[in-house]
Amino acid sequence: MQADRGFEELRTSRLRLRRSEPRDAERISAYRSDPEVRAHQGWERTDPDHVRGEIQEMLDRVPGQRGGWVQFTVETVEDEQLVGDVGLRVAEDEPGVVMVGYTMAPAAQGKGYATEAVGALVEYAFETLDAEVARAYADAANAPSVRVGEKVGLVVVERFDGHDEGVTWHGVRMERRRAPDPR
C-alpha cells in the first residue's frame, strides 16, 4: 500500500470528490439523518455537531495510511451541488485491502452518481494506493447499494447476519481484486 500525501481531488466527467470539510457537516447530516438513508448506513450519530467532529478528525488522516476512514464529499462539477459522500479505509489486519463506503443524498439517487463516484474511488485505490483488493459491505436489503458495487466490478463473496441491540440484519461483503499487471 502507498499513502497519498498529495491528494487533492478525484474527478469524473460529472463529479468531483474532494476531502470532506467541516463546512459540509450540515448538508451531510441532513441526508444521513433521513430515516431511509440511516437504515442502511453505519454512522451511529448523524447530528451536525457529531458529523462535523468526525470530519475534523478525518482531515488529519492520509488516504492509503492505516488509521481509520478518510471521507470525500461528492459534488457535481456543473453546479457544485453536494450529492453524497464516499470514504475509504485501509484494512487494519489485511495487507492490500482497502474498504470503500458510500452514501448518496436521496435527491441524488438513481442518477448514476454513486456508481460514478465509487468507480472512481475503487480505481484510485488500485492505481494510486496500490491496493490488491477493494471491499465494500452493504445491507443485503439495500438492493441499490449492492447494484452500485456490482456495476463497479465488486462481487458478493459473503453473506452474513449481523446483530445490533437485539435486531438481526443481513449483510453482504463485496470485493474486487486488482487486475494483474499485463507486463
pLDDT tens-digit series, residues 13-48: 999 999 999 999 999 988 777 667 665 566 677 778
User: Mean pLDDT over residues 137-155, rounded?
Assistant: 93
Statement: residue 174 has pLDDT above 70 = yes
Burial of 48 (C-beta count, 10 Å sphere; 0-12/13-18/19+)? middle
In this predicted structure, what is the pLDDT of residue 38? 62
Amino acid occupying residue 71: Q
* H runs (alpha helix) in the chain: 25-32, 35-38, 48-58, 113-127, 143-151
Statement: residue 176 has pLDDT above 90 = yes
Statement: residue 148 has pLDDT above 90 = yes
Spatial separation of the C-alpha atoms in residues 44 and 158, rounded to whole Å: 24
Statement: residue 84 has pLDDT above 80 = yes
Statement: residue 106 has pLDDT above 90 = no
In this predicted structure, what is the pLDDT of residue 99? 97
In this predicted structure, what is the pLDDT of residue 79? 95
Q: 112-142 burial string, b = 16+ CB within 10 Å, else e? A: ebbbbbbbbbbbbbbebbebebbbbbbbbeb
Statement: residue 141 has pLDDT above 90 = no
Of 25-34, 107-116, 157-166, give the range with the top mean pLDDT: 107-116
Spatial separation of the C-alpha atoms in residues 133 and 154, rounded to whole Å: 10
Q: What's the fold here for domain 9-177?
A: Aminopeptidase (3.40.630)
pLDDT confidence tier of residue 120, bands split at 50, 70 and 90: very high
Grid cell 448506513 in the structure block, residue: 41
User: Mean pLDDT over residues 66-86, rounded?
Assistant: 95
User: Mean pLDDT over residues 53-79, rounded?
Assistant: 94
In this predicted structure, what is the pLDDT of residue 34? 65
In this predicted structure, what is the pLDDT of residue 17? 98
For the chain, what are the domain ranges?
9-177
In this predicted structure, what is the pLDDT of residue 181? 73
Lowest mean pLDDT among 35-39, 93-97, 150-154: 35-39
